[in-house]
Amino acid sequence: MKRQSVFLSMLTSTAIVLSAVLGMLVFSACDVNAIPLGNTVWIPLRAVDASGDEVELNTIYNANYSNYQGSLSFQENNTFELWMGPGNPNDGTHSGMYEQKDGKINVFFDDDTVEQFDIQQNGDKTLIAVPYGGYEVYFIKQ
């Protein structure tokens, strides 16, 4: 009887330790702060309006969808470039410095404006939500 009690105690302890390790692995897999941003390019996936309703990207830019383009890129030296809009990248590129902190990306544009982008986990996809003219544009890693 004593041997069975020791065995059950060891089995219970092992199960607790394994549960804790598994929990830490799952938590770290979803940790948006662990997502490396340096040397990445992100492209628009979708957009929502202020009420959370999905809208077509061409609605935001008042352009034919085929003309819409955009990108968000981050470099290892903590610089970024954001291009949102139709036409030539030189017409709508904004750049500056960024820092990643607490599931957010604080961006400091070259014109001294400051903005905050949210890093979100949507199933197995990581998205970056960028506010733009009353909308949220969601970028996905290219």
Enter the DSSP assignment of 25. Answer: H
> If you average pLDDT over residues 7-28, what whole number do you get?
42
Comparing 48 with 9, which gets the higher pLDDT?
48
pLDDT confidence tier of residue 93, bands split at 50, 70 and 90: low
Digit-coded pLDDT (tens) for 62-90: 666 555 668 899 999 999 999 886 655 55
- Residue boundaries of the structural domains of the chain: 1-30, 33-141
Q: pTM of this prediction?
A: 0.72
CB neighbour burial string for 47-57, b if at least 16 within 10 angstroms, e if fewer: beeeeeeeeeb
Query: Is 2.40.128.280 the CATH number for 33-141?
Result: yes
Percent of the chain with pLDDT over 90: 50
